[in-house]
Amino acid sequence: MPADESSTTPNEGASIYLDSAASTPLRPEAYRAMLPFLQTEFANPSAHHSAGRRASEALEDARHRVARVFNAEPEEVVFTSGGTESINAAIKGVAFAQRDAGGGHHILTTAVEHHAVLHSARFLERFGFEVEELPVDEYGRVSPEEVAAAVRRDTALVSVGYANNEVGTVQPIAAIAAAVAARATALGKRIPFHTDAVQAASSHPLDVQALGVDLLSLSGHKFGGPKGTGLLYMRRGIPFLELLSGGGQERQRRSGTENVPGNVGLAVALELAQADREGFTVRTSTLRDRLLAAIVEACPEAIVNGHPTERLPQALHICFSGLEGEALVDELDRLGIAASAGAACTSATWEPSHVLLAMGVPLELAIGSLRMSLWSTTTAEQVDHVAQVLPGAVSRVREAALPAPR
């Protein structure tokens, strides 16, 4: 962290940061809360001396704060190393426990989930599980009725993401969870419902009772918390087989010495994000729509992806024909603008977005995608500058992609 703790520029090489879907700056309040546990109160929270007890008390205070946000019990909150671990633990841990208890071997999800969900599900196929990926409409959505209709007597787990990490489409999670619960009741069994809520924490409610979910995954650095921190809400009584064995921390669900400073900062950041949901939504959606209108006017051939209304307020995903998204991202980076061509987690092995292809976007368009995601610190001047330089960047990248004349 820089000496100036109020700094909100995550990437010093970019003067305009439009990649909050990949990571966000650490909130100053979270940074200040973490400092004592990085410098003086550094003891292991499992230690039995007074310094260890102080660390343990700070950890449990963070757990209680998260539980209040979730409208859950503190013992239902599990601290993890990030969204990927939270998702893996939820899907694999519940699936194995369900199978061992006779709860079935069918895993139901959708074709547009984050790779942490899809790859976890595919991993389970090695152990005899059957994975079903439901198709989505042109906006990337599934209906509650479609999900419930696919639930079977041998369904062990259903996982549907709250908000898509690429196009920003928001699913009707409460309605889907209710439909799955009704179908499970009709079948005379309990079917755990998981949602990947990693992208939703800054703009959407996380009350697990209102949502009706049994498991919910979050990642700290997506809402102003520190990297390397995450959360898994696990409703009491849900079958679970721990993935990390050892000292039995986190009530036997996730062994390993807890990240006290990280979890303290995570709790503060989550409280602030949820308290400012409405303000964040108004600020970012206003600027996003301003940027979108300018881009569409200058580049009328641009294709906007995602649901027109049920989407994250900060998210803007556009496809341009005749170019590759990675080349456009590189050109924007040269201009001091940080954006992405898709999920940052998979950019090292870039390929056409599975999300766009599942939505029916043609391959030639899918490879020309650009994802821009705003943050609380994005300004109107920055948005206007991006709108001004983007058309030229698109033209230059297109020209460079044309085959050389013979």
> Which 3 state secondary structure label does DSSP give 197?
coil
Q: Are 21 and 198 in contact (CB under 8 A)?
A: no
Neighbours of 220 (CB within 10 A): 31
- Give me the residue label for tokens 């000292």: 247
DSSP 355-368: HHHHTT--HHHHTT
Q: Are 314 and 20 in contact (CB under 8 A)?
A: yes
Q: How far apart are CA 386 and CA 312, in angstroms?
A: 20
CA distances from 71 to 116, 157, 182, 316, 396 (A): 26, 22, 22, 31, 51
Residue 319 is among the residues annotated as catalytic for this protein: no
Q: How far apart are CA 257 and CA 45, in angstroms?
A: 8
Q: How far apart are CA 210 and CA 232, in angstroms?
A: 17
Q: How far apart are CA 393 and CA 83, in angstroms?
A: 33
CA distances from 342 to 46, 91, 198, 352 (A): 40, 24, 15, 9
Q: Are 58 and 256 in contact (CB under 8 A)?
A: no
Q: Are 338 and 366 in contact (CB under 8 A)?
A: no
Catalytic member of 345, 380, 400, 401:
345
CA distances from 339 to 22, 169, 285, 354 (A): 9, 18, 17, 19
Q: Are 17 and 335 in contact (CB under 8 A)?
A: no
- Residues annotated as catalytic (active site), given as ranges: 345
